[in-house]
């Protein structure tokens, strides 16, 4: 399964994404964020793709994400982490994924390991 994770400007939320990357076995990892999110550190041996988003208005952001994700997801559903980001970013990302269309399994790292909801 592919992991799609949103990275926002609050670095404090990045630990959740880092844990998912390190502890999961993913077919592909797609990280989505603005220019600031490029600072996120991924271990060298882990392959991932970073999609930079620039739009700030909700409808434009959804369209931008949808266009940039088109053709990048192989399965019918993805593991989705929205531990980072705000409501507008979450809405745009979820809407873009559903419009591709692809299903989402909300994913989180807990003290018991990775859970998919």
pLDDT for the residue numbered 56: 87
∠ CA(67), CA(22), CA(84), 5° rounding? Answer: 50
- Under-70 pLDDT residues of the chain: 11
What is the tens place of the pLDDT at every residue in 16-35?
Answer: 999 999 999 999 999 999 99
d(CA 10, CA 91): 18
Go through the domains of the chain in sequence order and give each one's CATH number.
2-116 (3.40.50.10770)
pLDDT for the residue numbered 11: 67
pLDDT for the residue numbered 33: 95
Q: Order of strands, edge to edge, in the sheet holding 113-116?
A: 49-52, 28-33, 2-7, 77-81, 103-110, 113-116
pTM, full prediction = 0.94
pLDDT for the residue numbered 8: 87
pLDDT for the residue numbered 54: 94
d(CA 44, CA 6): 20
């Amino acid at each position: 399964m592919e992991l799609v994770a949103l990275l926002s400007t609050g670095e404090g939320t990045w630990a959740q994404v880092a844990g998912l990357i390190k502890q999961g076995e993913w077919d592909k990892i797609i990280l989505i964020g603005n220019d600031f999110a490029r600072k996120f550190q991924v271990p060298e041996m882990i392959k991932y793709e970073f999609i930079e988003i620039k739009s700030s208005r909700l409808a434009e952001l959804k369209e931008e994400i949808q266009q940039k994700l088109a053709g990048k997801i192989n399965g019918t559903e993805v593991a989705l982490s929205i531990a980072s980001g705000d409501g507008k970013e979450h809405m745009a990302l979820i809407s873009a994924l559903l419009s591709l269309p692809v299903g989402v399994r909300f994913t989180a790292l807990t003290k018991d390991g990775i859970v998919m909801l």
